[in-house]
Amino acid sequence: MSKRSMSLALAVAFCLTASLTACQDQRNEFNPVNVLCPGDFDPVTNKCKISTGSEPE
């Protein structure tokens, strides 16, 4: 493989990674659970947490 083809492959891989990261951020932003959540949205568990004012015992 020549240096030119290696650098082209590296550039393509970098652009692909950047594009997929941007898509992931947009997907998280428009998640239906997140959009409709009236409380705090936890992206790790994909759940809406609504504070009720008291801690469960």
pLDDT of residue 46: 79
Which letter, b or e, does each residue of 4-37 get, where b requires 16 or more Cβ atoms within 10 Å of its Cβ? eeeeeeeeeeeeeeeeeeeeeeeeeeeeeeeeee
Residue with tokens 């992206």: 43
Per-residue pLDDT in tens (0 to 9) along the chain, 57 residues: 788 999 999 999 988 888 777 666 666 666 667 677 777 878 788 788 877 776 655
Tokens of 2: 């020549």
Joined tokens for residue 36: 């409709």
Q: What is the pLDDT of residue 50?
A: 78
Specify the pLDDT at position 12: 92
CB 48 within 8 A of CB 38: yes
Tell if the pTM clears 0.85, that is, is over it: no
- Under DSSP, the state recorded for 45 is T
